[in-house]
Amino acid sequence: MFVLINLKTYPCDPVAVAEAAAAVDADSDATVAVAPQAAHLDRVAATGVETWAQHVSPVASGSHTGSTLAETVADAGAVGTLCNHSERRLRLADIDASLDAADRAGLGTVVCANNPDQVAAAAALGPDAVAVEPPELIGTGTPVSGADPGVVEEAVAAAARVDPGVDVYCGAGISTGDDLVAARELGADGVLLASGVAKAADPEAALEGLVAPV
């Protein structure tokens, strides 16, 4: 299972979380990655943990003040990027352009979507993975796999109909090993989480509990 921790802009120590993630990754069969703020990418990557950006802009080099250039993200040590998170929504054309930018820079891609219909639309754009995340459950501690398991099953089926090569991740409310097992049993290839680790008093212990069933 792939475990991607989105640190958002939480007031956590990104290096400490990254070091914890690297340690858990080394001792488990799960692949654990961290998505810090853009300004922390190089520091997180230096820990050796698999590092992802939270966003890349749908632009190439040029006059784009305030944008996050895919090539700069890659230079900082990231190997992939999230796209279209509920807190950073993009139009469909911009999702497509962001995926093109990521591909240009050699970055892996996960496109976030609210529901199975959006998962199908996102999968048609050719990302490496899609993450189904009902926005009303994000940050609640209530996993979508428990609140509405049908959404995950339908998202897996929707992606498979469009492109069987696109992985499906389960997001929103993931925090425990039981959540990870439920996501796997529903057909997900991985999980996307944030507060369950980023806000934990002991991130390493939280991650160990999360991946223990793997």
CB-CB neighbours of 157 under 10 Å: 15
Helix 203-211 and helix 177-185: axis angle, to 10°?
Answer: 40
The catalytic residue among 55, 133, 136, 153 is 133
CB–CB of 109/83 below 8 Å? yes
- CA–CA separation, 119 vs 125, rounded Å? 10
- Which value, in Å, is the radius of gyration of the alpha carbons in the chain? 16
CB–CB of 192/112 below 8 Å? yes
Residue 161's SS3 state is helix
Residue 133 among the catalytic residues: yes
> Distance between terminal CA atoms of the chain?
7
- Give the type of residue at 23: A
- Give the type of residue at 101: A
Residue 153 among the catalytic residues: no
- Give the type of residue at 66: G
Of 37, 36, 8, the C-alpha closest to 20 is: 36
The DSSP letter of residue 133 is -
The catalytic residue among 19, 40, 50, 85 is 85
- CA–CA separation, 156 vs 78, rounded Å? 27
- Residues acting as catalytic residues: 85, 133
